[in-house]
Structure formats: C-alpha cells, structure tokens
Amino acid sequence: MGDVVTTKISGAPLVPGYEDRMVAIFALAGGVAALDAQAVYYLMPRIVADLGLTDAQVGILGSAVLVGWSVAAFAFGQISDRLGRRKPFLVLAFLAMAALSGLSAIVATFVGLVVARVLMGLAEGPVIPVKQAIVMAESTPSRRGLNMGIVQNFGAQLLGTLIGPIAVVSIADAYGWRNAFLLSALPSILVVWLILRYIREPATEATSNAFVAPRSSLMSILMRRNVFLCALIGIANIAWFFVLLTFLPLILTRQAGLSSQSMSYVMAMIGAAGAVSALLVPGLSDRIGRKTAIAIFSAVGVVAPLGAILLGGNPWLVGLALFCGCMLLGTMPLFMATVPQESVLPADRATATGLVLGIGQLLGGTIGPIVGGQLSANFGPMAPMWLAGGLAALAGLLALFLVPQKLT
C-alpha cells in the first residue's frame, strides 16, 4: 500500500472573510444533518414503548440511517469528483433531508420507520465528503485540520448531540415524538439558502479537476496505506459512537431509572465533549501530527462506556465520564477527511472521504448497533458498552500504523 504527498492547494483568489464564513456555514450544516440523523436515538425510549420494539429491533433501527448514509457517501463522493462539482450536491442533499424528515413522523410500523431512516441516510450521505472537499480546497494549509474539525464535528456535536437531545426530548414531552421529528427538519431549508447565497464552487474543482486532473481507481485509493487504515479506524470509532447513542439512553432510563429529561441532560455531555474536541483535537493535530492525535484520543474513548458500566447509578459521574471519553469524537474529521484527503490526489479527495465514510458507516455504524442488540439480548444490557470499549481501544492501536504526510 503506497502513500502520496499532496500538492499545494491553489484555490480561487482570496476573498476577505470567505474562509471563516464558509467554515461557519458548513458547521451549521453539519449540525442540522446530525440533528436529523440522531433524533431517533434520543426518542428511542418513547418509540420502543409506542411500537413495542425488542432490543434486537432497537439495534436494527439504530443502524438504519447509516445503511443509506454509507451508500450515498461513497456514491456521491465519487460522482462529485468525476463531475468536478461540489455545491449542487449539497443543495440537493439538504432539500431531500427537508422533504424526507416528515416521513419518520407519519409511519406507523417498525418496518416503515426503518425504511424512513434508510431514506434519510441516503439524503445525508453526500454532505460530509462533498463539504470537506470544498474545505480542503479553500482552506489555508496551516488551518486545514482545524477548519475540517469545526466543519465536521463542532456544529454536529453542538446541535446534534448537545442541544439536540434536550430540545428533541422537550418537544416530545410536550407534543409527542412524531412532532419532534417534524420540527427537527425545518433548519434544512435555512441551510439550503445559506449555501446558495454564500458558498462558491471551488475554482480549482470547477475549472480544472473535472477536465485535466487524473483520477485514480477506487481500489488504488483504498489501498493507499493511510486510506486503508483510516477505513479500519472508521469502522471501530463509528461503531463505538453509534453503539453508545443507541443503547445508552435505554441503560440510563431502564437500569439507572432516570427520567427521559434527566437522560437527555446526561446524553448532552456527549455533545459538549464533541463541540470541545472539534476545536481541540484537529487543532492539536496541526501541531503534534494527525497520527498522534488520532491514537491518543481514540484510546481515551474507552472511558465513556466504562463509565456507563461502573458508574451507572450516578448520572453526574456518568456525565463526567461521557464528557472525558467522548473527546474521541474529535478524531472523526481527521480519519474521515483530513488524513485521507492529504494522502491522495486533489481530484480524488471526495472519493477518498466517501470511501472511508461509506466503509465506516456500513461496517461500523450499521453492523455495530445490530451486534450490540444481539449482545444485549443474550448477555445483558451492559454488553454493548463492553463492545464499545473494545472498539475504542482497537482504533487507538490501529492509528499507531498511520504514516505522517508532508503538509504543503
């Protein structure tokens, strides 16, 4: 498996303030996408009670959005690279998300809800690989890791995992879980307007890559050492995240006896950690290197599930453990976007991220909750937390084999 050193990005002429504006809009876009995707986890106790779901069905429902997400991330990342266009894919993605969000609110059966979540995943899949390709092209090299971290994780964790559980559960308490799904869709329209109004098509993508720059085969991209390792790290860390999101609300309400509102505050600590780590970990990686940052903070992820196992009776301590352990979330933009895109040719950037994200979501995000559900059914409710702890440790070990790239 070989590696390449990327060439210096030659973007469009510098527009004062554009880089910061782009990062802010894409951070908001990431938050909206995360809120739409993750609302089902915070509403899971109500959905289980309403539809009478088993633990195995909970695992399937928790992974449903990721099936569509993984397919769309891979497919549209590659199509975007081939066409040399980015912006239209984002506009269409958020329009589709707005149109599809209501479907989760009106279905009446388990199968119908699974189908609705798969379709939502298909709509959301293009967002990360396409917007990160834009950020890679438009960012100052010394800010690349920080920008990509903010764009991928800061908004996603602030809106999707910090504010999200509190807001969604509060709406569900007042108006029911179906209306919570409906209201979570409204911000997508705002994102469409912001992208159309303020985001430009990267000049290097629109004017040269689609016609001149060579593109590599999918296998040659995947077989680059760093891309392959990032895919494996992605399987482990994405599974860790979605196993936590799927089963921790049930553990907190069933085993710890918390009310749904108290559970939402504990779960919000994941978002608080994600927002902090979105600034801390990618920014730190610009100084200490991507490999070191991914290895250290992946290993720290063991703390979150262990806290749920050992401290489950004390919501304050569980919340503290979640905040510390979920610093792992800061590694996600690094192994999904920064490292893969720094390891391939400019014309292959969205494809590289789409491959890593697609493989990680399909094998980690999809299968992880299903395996967790089977473990819970056969070995008890804490079994998924042991699975999550092992996955975080594995990701930290795999990161030690990454090869540092020369940043230009």
pLDDT in tens, 332-348: 989 988 899 888 887 78
Does the residue 127 lie in any domain?
yes
Contact 304, 241 (CB under 8 A): no
Q: Is residue 334 part of a domain?
A: yes
Contact indicator for 331, 270 with CB cutoff of 8 Å: no
In a domain, 275, yes or no: yes
154 part of a folded domain = yes
Domain-embedded: residue 183: yes
In a domain, 2, yes or no: no
Structure-block tokens of residue 61: 């429902």
**Following DSSP, what letter does each residue of 294-341 receive, concatenated?**
HHHHHHHTTHHHHHHHHSTT-HHHHHHHHHHHGGGGGGHHIIIIIHHH
pTM: 0.76
Q: Which of 66, 72, 65 is nearest to 93 (CA)?
A: 72
What is the domain range of residue 39?
A: 18-204+216-399
pLDDT in tens, the chain (408 residues): 444 333 333 444 456 688 999 999 999 999 999 888 888 888 888 888 888 888 788 878 878 888 888 888 878 877 887 887 889 899 999 999 888 877 888 887 899 999 998 999 899 888 888 888 888 888 888 787 788 888 888 888 888 778 877 888 888 888 888 888 888 778 888 999 999 999 988 875 444 444 445 567 888 888 899 999 999 999 999 999 989 988 898 888 887 778 877 888 888 898 889 889 988 998 898 889 999 999 999 999 999 999 988 887 788 898 899 999 999 999 998 998 889 988 888 778 778 888 898 898 889 988 888 899 889 889 988 999 999 999 999 999 999 999 986 554
Range 284-290 contact pairs with CB under 8 angstroms and sequence separation of 24 or more: 285/145, 285/149, 285/334, 285/338, 286/142, 286/143, 286/144, 286/145, 286/146, 289/404, 290/145, 290/334, 290/338, 290/339, 290/342, 290/402, 290/404, 290/405
Residue 210 lies in a domain: no
Measured between alpha carbons, how far is 163 from 396 in angstroms, rounded to an integer?
29
CATH of the domain at 193: 1.20.1250.20
Per-residue tokens: 325? 């352990």
User: Residue 182 and residue 253: Cα distance in Å, rounded?
Assistant: 24
The number of folded domains in the chain is: 1
Whether residue 359 lies inside any domain: the answer is yes
